[in-house]
Amino acid sequence: MSVHLPDASWPPVPEPLPHPVVDNHCHLDHRIRGGHRIDVADALDLAASVGVARIVQVGCDLPSSAWAVATAEAHPAVVAAVALHPNETPALSAAGQLDDALAEIDRLAAHPQVRAVGETGLDYFRTGVEGRDAQHRSFREHIAIAKRHDRALVIHDRDAHDDVLAVLDDEGLPERTVLHCFSGDADFARACVERGAYLSFAGTVTFKNAPDLRDALKGTPLDRILVETDAPFLTPMPHRGRPNASYLVPITLRYMAETRSVDLGDLCRAVEENTDRAFGGPWPRHGADAV
């Protein structure tokens, strides 16, 4: 297995995990500053070398959703999630293109390499009040698509906790629902878990300004915890500000284990089992020498 970093701007490779896990939310297609990104094969090799042996590649619009499906077809350790990000929907709606775009997501969701519909949801940070109707309409339709195809629902929630819960309560959750890059406090975590959702923690849990998020992690049942990168964004400390990739999951997981005062190996095993349940069963790991 070839394992190398493309340039010095990428953080060093951390110590491997004692048990393999899944990065359940990654954007391998996104380019970092300067237009660079890790090649998919290199990203998989690097991740597998530290025990991150599988990846969920997540779409945010029609091109990236189609790219996710094609990448999952080419790499057995990758499965796809397809959706229109909530910040994409107001412009599509204004242009009269939202219905056609949703129909294409519905078509892509039927592909056997697709395990999830997402990331969908609500974002009140980047989209103003004028765009909320389009976000709500799209969110509700994505919920229906996830149910129609028996896919996990992957939710993007930014500054919209109460409305996300209101929509879920109104529509009813799919059998499997993931709060991607969970950003709420312990009370919101409890409300999500009570509805049957999984909570996915990213590098943000390591940030100094995230005590509420760490409280949420401590209070979340072990069988509801997932881990992700949201790469190339949200790089964990001490590398915040540098590009992120799946091979850095061990930094976040070690921090999570310390925060919860649990054995790292036990947490890794729980995270992998939870991910398989959340995304509809296991799929092949990458690399013959993955731990």
Is the Cβ–Cβ distance between 151 and 145 less than 8 Å?
yes
Dist CA 13 CA 36 (whole Å): 18
Q: Is 15 annotated as a binding residue?
A: no
CA-based radius of gyration for the chain: 18
CB 81 within 8 A of CB 57: yes
Q: What is the C-alpha separation between 288 and 290, in angstroms, rounded?
A: 6
117 vs 154: CA distance, rounded Å: 6
**Phi, psi dihedrals of residue 113, rounded to the nearest 5°:** -85, 0
**Bond into 112 cis (ω within 30):** no
Q: Find out whether 289 is annotated in a ligand binding site.
A: no
| Cα distance between residue 121 and residue 62, in whole Å | 16
CA–CA distance, 148 with 168 (Å, rounded to integer): 16
What H or E segment, with its residue span, contains residue 215?
helix 211-219
Q: Considering only CA atoms, which of 245, 227, 278 is closest in space to residue 115? A: 278
Sheet of 52-58, strand order: 21-26, 52-58, 78-82, 114-123, 152-158, 177-179, 198-201, 225-227
Q: Is 36 annotated as a binding residue?
A: no
Q: Is 25 annotated as a binding residue?
A: yes
Could you list the residues known to form a binding site, using ranges: 25, 27, 119, 156, 180, 230
Annotated binding-site ranges for a divalent metal cation: 25, 27, 119, 156, 180, 230
